[in-house]
Structure 1
């Protein structure tokens, strides 16, 4: 099969198109023919070494074993099954829950042995991938491309919203609102949980589209007095922040939160380190959450909301698999809206 593998930590020159044997499903596994694989920050940061220290990166402390086929947002068709798997699954169109774990239901995402497809396992930058049969779920939408864009960013966004326990009518600020996780945070918070959303983007040309996704107000992070503008449009401090930016908007986020407000982060595209005056945290009674991925039950609720049309795919562009370098480069451009998808 054709695949794109990462040969080591570094720039896009560490991505190479290769021919690899088609993997064979083992006991309780299935072979999935990959029809679409959306790109996430996850595989780019894994390649760049941004998750780890001392050139170790990935979801496990020992780092990634190279070469590795990246890719975790996968939609495709089951074409072969391993031992102890029902053969009636052959021909089923599925999306893949993106990690394995021995953790109990509700805490599998924080288990020490959580292992991620595309980091600890070969992933979806390929024509075929093997995965446990019980981690394959019915495709929520009619097309592979649309169905492929939710697994990692959608699960992360859904878990963020559930963590901060958004209530109808509350105001939530979403940073990086035009990105993969951010655009889903906007939809989930507003259309599923009934919150008012202030979407923070770079380019206000995206305002109309963000409002279509459910945003009540759209502001640019380039605004000179952003904190004051947020409080003005909301008529006072806000209830919660869903953040994927990190340092660049951290002080603003704490400034606009009400007493007892909640801050939840799942990314740091605008800076991985920040300064925190603890007095702000305790005097305002702010609760902080670190968040990434989620549980199987949350994934099921996400897929149900997608199939009901409450959450819609937001896709910026597709690339053929062979152009993975170009696709990852494009992914890092500012101003895009939604997901980038590789098509084997």
Structure 2
């Protein structure tokens, strides 16, 4: 029996952690035509959840994500504070990662889907009619996984047959699709790739996915996490504060996968070979960087900004899971009601891998 009310975390506005309101009286969503209702068993914590909460995507913000991660910012413009640039509607249930079981279906969906264990593609294209370079993020433009129940388009809700736990599966949609999207866009093959932020959710995913493609992986992370990142498959690990050019040499890398940006960003272009490729999907150390345009054109570099993902990216992830080719590292799990501590731990960045929230079972 599906209840009328559920436990969920409501984001009540842009700001600090106090804007997250754990409630037990939130209406259970009703799946519309073409949608399914999922009983959520686990939901990962991601940068995009925090960035959306604090309004970091607003062009008024020029600081790193940690500067306002707990308290928020005073300078944001609500009109451009979501990743899509469209003002967010509140209250909103966040959570870009959804792992759970289908418990009901809307019109036009085969009822045989009820009972499937599923993950949801986090970059939804159904609601924008599959227009190129447009999508909704679940947990941003529509309600997400920080709840006991969530609805999603049936066509973007993927059944997965694997031995991973619910928490492990919940660590995959956002982090791994972001990482795979960058590798796909940069067309990484058996080359040398430098990955920044390699101990985080997306970075650790990128290490595994790059190794799967046969790449020689150089990872940047804090020295305290070096062994854990090597265990993920990195061939070489450098301290995140290292002088990259001195350590690697000019023109020594084929591809850079960057999640950090910040003041050391120019070195990332310096270590790229002529004709090299740079892909980014984050800027946790700061979004404002200086570029010498001569480096860009004299070395024939290609820069990729990676948000939109082709359909094949998520479809491939499901195959990798079912073929036991990837296994996410879950650093810690928390009850959904403990979301404040989970986000504080996420911001402290003392972990390697993913933090995951577990809603109470119905």
TM-score category (smaller protein): over 0.9
- Shift, 1:264, TM fit: 0.7
CA contact (8 A) 1:173 1:241 kept: yes
- Shift, 1:45, TM fit: 0.6
Over aligned residues, Cα RMSD in angstroms? 1.7
How far apart, in 1, do the equivalents of 2:55 and 2:83 lie?
A: 11
CA contact (8 A) 2:261 2:284 kept: yes
Of 11, 17, 22 in structure 1, the residue corresponding to residue 16 of structure 2 is 11
How far apart, in 1, do the equivalents of 2:307 and 2:324 lie?
A: 24
CA contact (8 A) 2:280 2:304 kept: yes
State the Cα deviation string for residues 190-217 of structure 1 (Å, max 9, x = none): 1x21010000001x23222222211110
> 1:92 matched to which residue of 2?
116
> 1:48 matched to which residue of 2?
54
> 1:101 matched to which residue of 2?
125
- Shift, 1:140, TM fit: 5.0
- Shift, 1:293, TM fit: 4.8
Of 133, 138, 146 in structure 1, the residue corresponding to residue 168 of structure 2 is 146
State the Cα deviation string for residues 216-236 of structure 1 (Å, max 9, x = none): 10010222x33211239xxx6
Matched, 1:231 2:249: yes
Unaligned runs of 5+ in 2: 1-5, 60-76
> 1:222 matched to which residue of 2?
241
- Shift, 1:104, TM fit: 7.6
Of 259, 262, 274 in structure 2, the residue corresponding to residue 244 of structure 1 is 259
> 1:291 matched to which residue of 2?
306
CA contact (8 A) 2:201 2:354 kept: yes
SS state of the match for residue 340, structure 1? strand
Unaligned runs of 5+ in 1: none
How many residues matched?
333
**Which aligned runs of 4 or more in structure 1 are off by greater than 3 angstroms?**
102-105
> 1:136 matched to which residue of 2?
157
Compared with structure 1, are the counterparts of its residues 36 and 127 closer, same or farther at alpha carbon in structure 2 (3 Å cutoff)?
same
How far apart, in 1, do the equivalents of 2:220 and 2:350 lie?
A: 12
How far apart, in 1, do the equivalents of 2:141 and 2:53 lie?
A: 13
CA contact (8 A) 1:77 1:93 kept: yes
Task: Tell me the TM-score normalized by structure 1.
Answer: 0.93
